[in-house]
Amino acid sequence: MLAIKNLQLNSSGKLKHFLSIEGLDKSLLTEVLDTAESFADISEQRVKKIPLLRGKTIVNLFFENSTRTRATFELAASRLSADVLSMNIATSATSKGESLLDTIRNLEAMQVDMFVVRHSLSGAAHFMAEHAAPHISVINAGDGQHEHPTQAMLDMFTIRRVKQQFSGLRVAIVGDILHSRVARSQIHALNILGAQEVRVIAPKTLLPAQVESLGVTVYHDLAAGLKNIDVIIMLRLQKERMNSALLPSESEYFKCFGLSDDKLKCANKDAIVMHPGPINRGVEISSSVADGPQSVILQQVTNGIAVRMAVMSMTMHSNAGTE
């Protein structure tokens, strides 16, 4: 059988770009988690820096807004001692009509080593990886409704830190699965890492067609779907991606799919509550749950730095050697 070349890996099977969870295997995802573990302490030290990427230049190209993702990528790069250039493209060259390819070529002419890219079009990061100079690594920081692989890995890191392992775990992802690149990456990661069961809980209008083919079981009732669950991942309603009315109202949505203290009781006693942010209090999650003892939402943010340090150092090192 003809093997399809995975653009993410170099000829020795090492991570050259980080574009999607789909197509990676368990040992590589575990290597990301283990590498992140080795970086987690650096942020606790008085001097929060190691010289691993000294002399390297990383460009954050954000064609879409972001707070957490962009800030943690920036901090991760500077904790690895790289030089970082963060560009908000909404106010920059492409808004003057420059093509993505021309933006890439101009930045390459400045001898940069890595692009971290967020774009509203699915496939934008793959396009950049295909067209960038061979020494450049590309990291996907969220492309359209496709994938958000570093978010999924920081979520896996957070789960592993609390629950130790994936086997035997039942995870529920609740809310706007249809528009969520985060959910797509999480579903792949949980299945690859060997979770016992991945459930999606959502109204029919917020689920993609044939979602079961991703390896999930589907529930339309929150209380029933949370039974025996160890990890609950709540998602924001991505209203900016909805081009028609998919919901009656936010208060109706909260009544049916919002995580309140009462609904939380349907899951296992030691279940953790996660959310990639930004959270909308009173829409998908109540304040008492978001700020409560089972919530690990702010730990996810902290862990984002170590995981992004891991992905940056792994891709950069695989590029330095072979290709």
Smallest distance from ligand NCD to CB 238, Å: 6
Interactions with ligand NCD, residue window 62-91 (CB under 6 A): 68-69
Amino acid 71 reads A
Smallest distance from ligand NCD to CB 215, Å: 20
The residues, ordered by sequence, that sit 6+ positions from 62 with a Cβ below 8 Å of its Cβ are 70, 86, 87, 88, 89, 90, 117, 118, 141
Smallest distance from ligand NCD to CB 183, Å: 9
Structure tokens at 255: 């009544």
Smallest distance from ligand NCD to CB 252, Å: 20
Nearer to ligand NCD, 67 or 99 (CB): 67
Give how far the C-alpha of residue 159 lies from the chain's centroid of Cα atoms, to the nearest Å: 14
* Number of residues forming the site for ligand NCD (CB under 6 A): 11
Q: Find the angle CA(147)-CA(203)-CA(118) to the nearest 5 degrees.
A: 20
The residues, ordered by sequence, that sit 6+ positions from 18 with a Cβ below 8 Å of its Cβ are 8, 137, 138, 139, 140, 149, 150, 311, 314, 315
Among 108, 277, 294, 302, which residue interacts with ligand NCD (rule: CB under 6 A)?
Answer: 277
Q: What is the DSSP letter of 141?
A: E
CA distance 80 to 139: 16
Among 36, 142, 206, 257, which residue interacts with ligand NCD (rule: CB under 6 A)?
Answer: 142
Q: Does 161 sit near ligand NCD (CB under 6 A)?
A: no
Q: Does 160 sit near ligand NCD (CB under 6 A)?
A: no
Contact by Cβ (8 Å): 318, 12: yes
Interactions with ligand NCD, residue window 5-64 (CB under 6 A): none
Smallest distance from ligand NCD to CB 322, Å: 31
Nearer to ligand NCD, 16 or 148 (CB): 148
The residues, ordered by sequence, that sit 6+ positions from 88 with a Cβ below 8 Å of its Cβ are 62
Among 149, 175, 258, 276, which residue interacts with ligand NCD (rule: CB under 6 A)?
Answer: 276
Structure tokens at 245: 């009315």
Structure tokens at 221: 């009732």
Among 42, 178, 182, 183, which residue interacts with ligand NCD (rule: CB under 6 A)?
Answer: 182
Q: Going edge to edge, which strands form the sheet with 231-234?
A: 217-219, 197-201, 170-174, 231-234, 272-274
Q: Does 236 sit near ligand NCD (CB under 6 A)?
A: yes
The number of C-alpha atoms within 13 Å of 36 and in the hemisphere containing its C-beta is 25
For ligand NCD, which residue has the nearest CB?
A: 236
Phi, psi dihedrals of residue 18, rounded to the nearest 5°: -125, 95
Q: Does 151 sit near ligand NCD (CB under 6 A)?
A: yes
Nearer to ligand NCD, 223 or 247 (CB): 247
Phi, psi dihedrals of residue 56, rounded to the nearest 5°: -95, 150
Q: Does 282 sit near ligand NCD (CB under 6 A)?
A: no
Q: Does 119 sit near ligand NCD (CB under 6 A)?
A: no
Nearer to ligand NCD, 69 or 103 (CB): 69
Nearer to ligand NCD, 151 or 158 (CB): 151
Smallest distance from ligand NCD to CB 11, Å: 32
Q: Does 181 sit near ligand NCD (CB under 6 A)?
A: yes
CA distance 85 to 235: 30
Q: Does 148 sit near ligand NCD (CB under 6 A)?
A: yes
Residues that bind ligand NCD (CB under 6 A): 68-69, 142, 148, 151, 181-182, 236, 238, 276-277
